[in-house]
Structure 1
Amino acid sequence: MIGYYIHHQGRGHLNRAMAIAAELDQPVTGLSSQPRPVGWVGDWIELARDDESAAPRDVDAHGRLHWVPLHDQGLSDRMAQVSHWIAESRPRVIVVDVSVEIAVLARLFGIPVVSVALPGVRDDEAHHLGYDISTAIIAAWPQEAEGMISGLSAPARRRLHCVGAISRFGGRVNERRRSATPDAPRRLLLLGGAGGSSLDAATIAVAREATPDWHWTVLGSRGGRWVEDPWPEICAADVVVTHAGQNALADVAAARRPAIVIPESRPHEEQTTTASVLAGSSRWPALVRWNFPVTGWPTLLDEALGLDGELWDGWNDGLGARVAAAVIQRELAQAPAGEPA
């Protein structure tokens, strides 16, 4: 039995968990504040929310943890749910994406923890604690992408496994070839995310007006629509303009589409760190802009159009979920003989 904790913010943690769980040969129980997603095969424990207090106090335990508000009933209920499930189910491994508090709780039960690392500056005490107690750490970016994370201790870095990007569309790459007539307008996809966007409809409208030869599709950002399955739109695009979230980049890379990457502000410099790695190398077909451009779109799009989308193979070779599952399986193999699966 494997437990898999999934943070409820955005959709990236869930999409990554579903891709990895599909590659595991053991029963996987999901634990999350999100409702059970369509397509999840194993059991699902919907946890109480711990972020609904109007005035949370001492949320980080004086900098030692990330989110443990004092006297919060939701937090208390949530930890009781997880504790009860661990005691009853006796999982052999718990994967945590992401929560230092859940990682510590599992380890206090004597359960090995496999943590999922995110990009950025992770040098605070809470990150040190979570990574240092983990038996393995999975990073969903390639080994060649140096500088994606900073602040790890030397022991934690030795347990870091860079498995490559993980896309939920890994099984649909046969759909990515775009067929278009020579006189068809070039297509641009502006891809927003569930984690929020700083863009507004007026700014997007100015860029659209400056590029009349391009057909724009806007998903996720203000002024755009939300779709559960953006894969056809990604594959139909000649260029994708995207934020620097891990899952958006993994999906664009899976489709082998040239990208213009504009990082959003996120805690721990998560997206700016990823964008800096992309900007610092010609290895991947991405142009980085630190803010949404006000002018210069025709030239920018022409430059992006000249990039070779196939270079994304170095970022996402389609094996990330399988390699991540292999890391988890190795930890399962370390469990003493006779322990429940």
Structure 2
Amino acid sequence: MIGYYVHHHGLGHRNRATQIARELTVAVTGFSTLDRPADWPGEWVQLPPDVTEHPSDPTASGVLHWAPLGHPGHRERMGIMAQWLCHDLDLMVTDTSAEVTLLARLMGVPTVVMAMRGDRTDRTHRAAYDAATALIAPWSRETAETYWPEDWNRKTTFTGAISRFDVPTAAARGTGPAGVGPAVTSSEGAGSAVEGENTVLVLWGRGGTAVGEDDLAAARAATPGWTWTVRTPDNPSPDLWRELHEATVVVSHGGNNAVAELSAARAHAVVVAQPRPHDEQTATVAALDRAGICVGLPEWPAPERWPGLLDRALLLGGDRWRTWRHGDGAHRAARAMEAVLRGDAP
């Protein structure tokens, strides 16, 4: 059986884990503080929270990322997973936690780490990535991180982007939500539903943001020929797949799953990094911009820049997203995990 640890920050980790789990042909059990997804295909163990405003030595003097001393929730959650690792799990996938990765490895269970963008050369990440049996990178080899040591690259499967809008394989069809569509077949990517109307769709997540209503209002005022629509977890789209295609340009944060959805729709996009640990989103938008896939920005731009940015975005997107995604990222990830389960590590 495969165990799958899902981090609770934002919703992207859970969405990605669900897409991959639905492609697995073996039993999978999820572990997370988050609620079980409606379309999760196996058992789900909801873990007690381990957050606290006043942690005691949470990093173990810099050795770990989060292991607060004396916290009953932290001790209980690690104990629950240890029991499963002791008796039931043959492989542990982490998306993402260095501590859970190391726990599994210390108990002699092979581990697969879902890699993340940004600078992962800190002591804790290096220990987790070094100890992992295999790594899975949800981006293409062509856009790989240049600083990675070769021993990480050797054990990595580069799946390309993993989107909830990817068409599932035959094994996974019928197990997920209805209405998610195939990737766009037109080379033009997204475009306005009304001829002559210029529209901006803003997608903003729940994981923390440095952009407020005043920033959006200033961008609107600077682009009088454009109509802006803002979607957030508190104001979700009634049909995101449709809105992605109807928008002339999509403006999004640089979270991995948001970018994956842009790639599935082959949108003309402006992707703006939000502050994240280890500069994760900064690294993502830099890779996108460097590859000429879309407009990638390290921070929210001044209002007067928006007309030019939207015009530049119209020249990008479409087929350029093929550099970022293969269309079957979840399937590739699942096959890589099952290879490790069989002992065929990269």
Question: Could you tell me whether the CA contact under 8 Å between 1:190 and 1:219 is conserved in 2?
Answer: yes
Residues 228 and 2 (structure 1), Cα distance of their counterparts in 2 relative to 1, 3 Å cut: farther
> Superposition RMSD on alpha carbons, in Å?
2.0
Aligned residues: 327
Q: Which residue of 273, 276, 279 corresponds with 1:269? A: 279
Question: Could you tell me whether the CA contact under 8 Å between 1:32 and 1:46 is conserved in 2?
Answer: yes
Give the CA deviation at 1:104. 1.2
Question: Could you tell me whether the CA contact under 8 Å between 2:28 and 2:42 is conserved in 1?
Answer: yes
- Residues 103-158 of structure 1, C-alpha deviations (whole Å, 9 max, x = no match): 1111122110001110010111111111111110001000000336x4x4443332
Corresponding residue for 1:174? 182
Residues 271-310 of structure 1: matches in 2 within 5 Å?
271-282=281-292, 284-288=293-297, 290-310=299-319
Corresponding residue for 1:100? 98
The residue identity in structure 1 corresponding to 2:133 is: T
Corresponding residue for 1:38? 38
The residue identity in structure 2 corresponding to 1:313 is: R
Corresponding residue for 1:339? none
Residues 1-341 of structure 1: matches in 2 within 5 Å?
1-51=1-51, 53-89=52-88, 91-147=89-145, 150=147, 152-171=148-167, 172-174=180-182, 176=184, 180-183=193-196, 185-220=197-232, 225-227=235-237, 230-282=240-292, 284-288=293-297, 290-334=299-343
Instruction: Supply the distance in 2 between the matched residues of 1:214 and 1:194 (Cα, whole angstroms).
Output: 25
Instruction: Supply the distance in 2 between the matched residues of 1:238 and 1:43 (Cα, whole angstroms).
Output: 41
Give the CA deviation at 1:58. 0.8
Give the CA deviation at 1:86. 2.2
Instruction: Supply the distance in 2 between the matched residues of 1:225 and 1:11 (Cα, whole angstroms).
Output: 15
The residue identity in structure 2 corresponding to 1:82 is: M
The residue identity in structure 2 corresponding to 1:30 is: G
Question: Could you tell me whether the CA contact under 8 Å between 1:128 and 1:153 is conserved in 2?
Answer: no
SS in 2 for 1:44: strand
**Structure 1 residue runs of 4 or more that deviate by more than 4 Å after TM superposition:** 175-179
The residue identity in structure 1 corresponding to 2:92 is: I
Question: Could you tell me whether the CA contact under 8 Å between 2:143 and 2:323 is conserved in 1?
Answer: no
Residues 200 and 308 (structure 1), Cα distance of their counterparts in 2 relative to 1, 3 Å cut: closer
SS in 2 for 1:64: coil
> Which consecutive residues of structure 1, in runs of 5 or more, have no partner in the other structure?
336-341
Question: Could you tell me whether the CA contact under 8 Å between 1:287 and 1:304 is conserved in 2?
Answer: no
The residue identity in structure 1 corresponding to 2:67 is: V
SS in 2 for 1:87: helix
> Which consecutive residues of structure 2, in runs of 5 or more, have no partner in the other structure?
168-179, 185-189
Instruction: Supply the distance in 1 between the matched residues of 2:296 and 2:75 (Cα, whole angstroms).
Output: 45
Instruction: Supply the distance in 2 between the matched residues of 1:186 and 1:307 (Cα, whole angstroms).
Output: 16
- Residues 52-110 of structure 1, C-alpha deviations (whole Å, 9 max, x = no match): x2310111111111100011111111111111222332x21111111111111111221
Give the CA deviation at 1:219. 1.2
Question: Could you tell me whether the CA contact under 8 Å between 1:117 and 1:137 is conserved in 2?
Answer: yes
SS in 2 for 1:174: coil
Q: TM-score, normalised by structure 1?
A: 0.90
Instruction: Supply the distance in 1 between the matched residues of 2:165 and 2:102 (Cα, whole angstroms).
Output: 32
- The share of aligned pairs that are identical, in percent, is 40
